[in-house]
A and B are shown apart, each in its own frame.
Chain A
Amino acid sequence: EPEVTQTPSHQVTQMGQEVILRCVPISNHLYFYWYRQILGQKVEFLVSFYNNEISEKSEIFDDQFSVERPDGSNFTLKIRSTKLEDSAMYFCASKLQFFSYEQYFGPGTRLTVT
């Protein structure tokens, strides 16, 4: 069964460093999302992406964040200058098409900023 994959599973970085989190969505899906979950808190929406453009972004998704689909399979989230409060699980999700309801999540990347 097709699934969303994410790498790395765990990333440790120092404050101020840039990180890139990678995702491979399900192959024929067209809509892509990033969410994050700070330990003990709700899963929060960051950004949605369709047709090589950001469709919607949350207040969390400020100028330090960017997303890219560099090729036909990968979907990346870049944090330019990490802060301690960026420590969280980051989940990528994908959806087949606009009229689909189901979003399928990857296993997540645990980002630890020291």
Chain B
Amino acid sequence: TQLLEQSPQFLSIQEGENLTVYCNSSSVFSSLQWYRQEPGEGPVLLVTVVTGGEVKKLKRLTFQFGDARKDSSLHITAAQPGDTGLYLCAGEKNQGGKLIFGQGTELSVKP
């Protein structure tokens, strides 16, 4: 069974703090995607990483794909209340195939 483990599952921080969310697996993925999901809505794509060691930045969010393409991280700098939400990582093992999702990280940023 291919698993993606996210940690932490819950994170509550103050506005202005930095945080990192991790997504780990024992399997190699051809790509890894990060989504954000609001309650009762569908996942919204934030970024896709494809190459081992790749780093992508989206404003205050930095995404990294591990060198071996088995893990990824999401780092948020100076978190804001608007960052509150559920962050999901999802890996694609074979190009064209299904996405395997992690269980998500519920982030709460308090003003």
Contacts and interface: CB of A to CB of B under 8 A. Distances in A.
Q: How large is the interface on B (under 10, 10 to 19, 20 to 34, 35 or more residues)?
A: 20 to 34
B96 interface: yes
A98 B96 contact: yes
A106 B42 contact: yes
Given A42-B103, A91-B42, 18 more contacts: A33-B98, A33-B99, A35-B99, A42-B101, A44-B101, A45-B99, A48-B98, A50-B96, A55-B97, A98-B95, A99-B96, A101-B31, A101-B50, A101-B92, A102-B33, A103-B90, A107-B42, A108-B40
Interface residues of A, number: 29
Query: From DSSP, what is the main secondary structure of chain A's interface residues?
Result: strand
Contacts of A44: 101
B98 to A, nearest CB: 4
B48 interface: yes
Interface of A: 4, 6, 31, 33, 35, 41-45, 48, 50, 55-56, 58, 89, 91, 93, 98-99, 101-108, 110
